[in-house]
Amino acid sequence: MKGLMTTVTNATNGKRYFVSTVKCPRSDELKQTAVFRKILGPFANFWKPQAIFVGNDAAYLHGRVTALVRDVDPADWDDNEMFIDEVDDAFDAMIARLQGSPC
């Protein structure tokens, strides 16, 4: 699997982040998506991710984390490590909870 990398602007704080998905180093089956805050141009603090998400399907995971980084206040996902499975309802409920909406 080749890695996926997307630049995302958060709607809450206007800051830009890299969302990067690669094969999880701890498992042959899992994929890992890390979020890095951009510093300047193509530079980011790649040594310390803002958050790490783990799941089974790389494209699905990357898309969902990209949406999370774009739409949810970083205070709700910053410095967290979460496992995300492919159940849309569970992930949508998590985003709704983070945004303060009733499930």
Q: What is the pLDDT of residues 15-64, one digit of tens each?
A: 999 999 998 877 778 888 899 989 887 788 788 888 888 888 888 889 98
What amino acid is encoded at 42 in this protein?
P
Token readout for 21 is: 């998905």
Please enumerate in sequence order all residues whose Cβ is within 8 A of that of 59, keeping only pairs 6 or more positions apart, or say none.
4
**What pTM value is reported for the model?**
0.74
Q: What is the mean pLDDT of the chain?
A: 80
Per-residue pLDDT, 35 = 92
